[in-house]
Amino acid sequence: DAGVIQSPRHEVTEMGQEVTLRCKPISGHNSLFWYRQTMMRGLELLIYFNNNVPIDDSGMPEDRFSAKMPNASFSTLKIQPSEPRDSAVYFCASTLHGQAGNTIYFGEGSWLTVV
């Protein structure tokens, strides 16, 4: 299996611009997660979907952030407008809900820099 695929791997954008991060989960997985990682706060869950439905978005920082999962094989995380404090690594992860241990598989991350 190719694993969780994220794009872009790196993005540098100017403050105020819209940023869209994309994710393709592992085929057959029915749960998808968006995490953000920074030095100060570590790994934080932003939102997770089960069977394409958002289950918990309590980690989404504010209205500038939105996430969608139109089908089982694709999800987006959008930031509009972006701000310098959004600079971080954004990870997408997936799992088969109900699988023992809920072992979650991460993508390589999207490295976002907002200047």
Partner 1 sequence: QKEVEQDPGPLSVPEGAIVSLNCTYSNSAFQYFMWYRQYSRKGPELLMYTYSSGNKEDGRFTAQVDKSSKYISLFIRDSQPSDSATYLCAMSGGTSYGKLTFGQGTILTVHP
Residues that bind partner 1 (CB under 8 A): 4, 31, 33, 42-43, 45, 48, 50, 55-56, 91, 93, 97, 100-109, 111
> Which lies closer to partner 1 via its Cβ, residue 8 or residue 16?
8
> Which lies closer to partner 1 via its Cβ, residue 25 or residue 107?
107
Identify the CA nearest to 87 among candidates 6, 21, 1, 2: 21
> Which lies closer to partner 1 via its Cβ, residue 4 or residue 77?
4
User: What residues contact residue 35 under an 8 Å CB cut-off, 6+ apart?
Assistant: 43, 44, 45, 46, 90, 91, 92, 93, 106
Q: Shortest distance, CB of residue 21 to partner 1, whole angstroms? A: 14
